[in-house]
Structure 1
């Protein structure tokens, strides 16, 4: 049995990290909702559209690390 046959600890740690990133992002955006409610609805829509996409950016290096063990 070689190291390739052993399950990687990076995948469960990475999965928990992804869940943590999502939860932190949800709390951050939800905490801003009181202030965003005062804005004109198209501005709110653009903000939520961007906020709904931006959380994905830190996942690329995390997913790479989960697969390869390297950040770059």
Structure 2
């Protein structure tokens, strides 16, 4: 069985997604830092989980070569 190019490409896409997501969230930290503590907690919990959503189709593509 020969290795597929999709796995290394997918890993780079995942790393890029994480980097872009971190920059987006960190760029709003000055504004978010003025919110009440519980609002900040809720925001960071949600944004910490939301980035995982695009991973399922990407991981499926890495394994099978299909998006669906």
Mark the structure with the bigger radius of gyration: 1
In structure 2, the residue matched to 1:41 is 37
- Please give the TM-score of this superposition, normalised by the length of structure 2: 0.98
Give me the CA root mean square deviation.
0.4
Structure 1 consecutive aligned stretches of length 4 or more whose deviation exceeds 4 Å: none
- Please give the TM-score of this superposition, normalised by the length of structure 1: 0.93
Pick the aligned partner of 1:52 from 48, 51, 58. Answer: 48
Does residue 65 (structure 1) correspond to residue 61 (structure 2)? The answer is yes
Does residue 10 (structure 1) correspond to residue 6 (structure 2)? The answer is yes
Pick the aligned partner of 2:16 from 16, 20, 23. Answer: 20
The offset of 1:7, in angstroms, is 1.1
Aligned residues: 68
Structure 1: state its 5+ residue gaps: none
